[in-house]
Structures are given as structure tokens and as C-alpha cells.
Amino acid sequence: MKRIFSRTRRITVGCLVGVTPASGRCFHAELVRTESSGLPIVHHSKYVCELPANHRFPMAKFPRVLHFLLQDQVITERQVWVPEIASKDLLGAVHTGDYLNNFISGRINEQEQRRTGFPWSEGIVRRCRYETGGTVLAAEVSLRRGLTCSTAGGTHHAFPSYGSGFCLLNDLAVAAKYLMNSSSRKRKVLIVDLDVHQGDGTAFIFKDEPSVFTFSVHCGKNFPVRKQQSDLDISV
């Protein structure tokens, strides 16, 4: 479970850089839900893609989370926001141009695919970009509503120039960079990463960024073998 918190609350809430609230396009969203005061949930049907038969990644978990939230009446459809796909400009604040061009166009060799655990496909590119867009939208909505949850994300093993461990784009880092870059005020971001695996990619990305504090609680004797240095690591 990964969450992004902003420590600065007074901002131009949820709006794109250079776009005023009156323009009606204040969020990176395909569907905005303002009629409910309940907890906003971000989800897109394209959070999933086809994988080879018997692939070990549990892709179906993303729609199932939303399904059971609705079925058990924890939320209603009126709480579900739909994100836009993350643009190359957003992704480029974290990832190198060469990596993005190769990843999006499919120039990913077999060794790189083994490191990520995914065979390359247009579908995997699309789902990762929508997933990252979902985290950006959740961050935007949180600044207005206080807390937002996305049914996907937390891809903390992705580094600027390569993917790893089922993580191809670092959605947490992209959202944090967006929060900082879209405000005229200096904003600090806390990333709390609670996972059996250390958030090594996120720690590496922000190792020299004093405005982002990375906090990871993870199993010490588990992937990745080579850990990075977060601002605070707790190994259990």
C-alpha cells in the first residue's frame, strides 16, 4: 500500500498549470465526480491488459478491488473518478527520454523484459500510463478533498532509465514531481511505502531531493537484493 501526502495545503487546487478553474478542465481526468461527498476512488478499465497464459502477475486484482467495493456497498459509482492517460511530458519529469521512447515504441530487449517480469506489448504500455495517470489524478483530488484512493499504482521499483520487478513507470515519483512542479509555492511531499519490498526506485529518484521524504517499511530479506537508501527505512 502506497500513499502520497502533500504537506502544503494552500494551492491552486487540482488545476493544470496555466489553466484556470473556470475553464472546466481542472483535473487530469476523463470523468470528474463532484456530486458525492464520499471518499473519491480513482479507477480505469484500462488498468488491465492481456498477459500470456499462466503469467504469475495477478492482473485481475485491479478490477476486482473496484468490484468488491461496489458489491459490498462500501462505495457507490458516484465516487469513482476516471483518469486520463499520463502524457509523455508528465512521465518525462521522472523518466529519461530514451527510456520512454524505447518503452512506448517497443524497443525493449529480452533482458530488459526479464528484469521487469512483463513481455512488452502495446497493452502493457497503455495500462502503465493509465495507472500513472490515476495516481496523478488521485494526488490532484486529494489536494481538494483531503484523501483519495486509486485501485492501482505503487510501482516503486521503476527507475528513471529502466523498469524492474513488475514496475515500468514510477507512478509515485511522477505524481510527486507533478505536485511540486505545478505550484508556485515550494511544496514538500512525503511518500509512505508499506510493502514487503523496499521502494528502491522511488528512493533512488529522490535521493538528492530535499523536498521529498521517502519512508519505506519492508521485509529486509526480500526483493530487491540490493537496497537503496530511503530517507527512512524500516526493515522487518
pLDDT above 70 for 2: no
Q: What is the pLDDT of residue 26?
A: 80
Residue 22 has pLDDT above 80, yes or no: no
Does the structure show a pLDDT above 50 at 234? yes
- Nine cell digits for residue 80: 469513482
Q: Contact, 138 vs 149, CB < 8 A?
A: yes
Q: What does the pLDDT look like over 184-210, one tens digit per residue?
A: 788 899 999 999 999 999 999 999 999
Domain boundaries, given as residue ranges, for the chain? 29-51+58-186, 188-235
Calpha distance 51→221 (Å, rounded): 29
Instruction: Point out which residues pair with 27 in neighbouring strands.
Output: none
pLDDT reported for residue 176? 97
- Give the pLDDT confidence score for residue 187 in this predicted structure: 87
Stretch 90-119: mean pLDDT: 97
CB 50, CB 123: distance < 8 Å = yes
User: pLDDT band for position 5 (50/70/90)?
Assistant: very low
CA-closest candidate to residue 154, choices 73, 42, 67, 13: 42
> In this predicted model, what pLDDT tens digit does every residue of 69-89 receive, in sequence order?
999 999 999 999 999 999 999
- pLDDT at 10 exceeding the cut of 60: no
CA dist 101 and 109 (Å) reads 13
Q: What is the pLDDT of residues 42-68, one digit of tens each?
A: 999 999 999 999 999 999 999 999 999
Mean pLDDT of the 83-104 span: 98
- pLDDT for the residue numbered 19: 35
CATH number of 29-51+58-186: 3.40.800.20
pTM: 0.88
Mean pLDDT of the chain: 90
Q: Give residue 164's pLDDT.
A: 97
Going by C-alpha positions, the residue among 175, 178, 172 that lies closest to residue 154 is 172
DSSP states of the chain as a string? -EEEEES---SSTTPPTT--GGGS--SSEEE---S--SPPEE--GGG-----TT-SS-TTHHHHHHHHHHHTTSS-GGGEEEEPPPPHHHHTTTS-HHHHHHHHHT---HHHHHHHTS---HHHHHHHHHHHHHHHHHHHHHHHHS--EESS---TT-BTTB-BTTBSS-HHHHHHHHHHHT-SS---EEEEEESSS--HHHHHHTTT-TTEEEEEEE-SSSS-SS----SEEEE-
The predicted pLDDT at position 40 comes to: 98
- Check pLDDT > 70 for residue 3: no
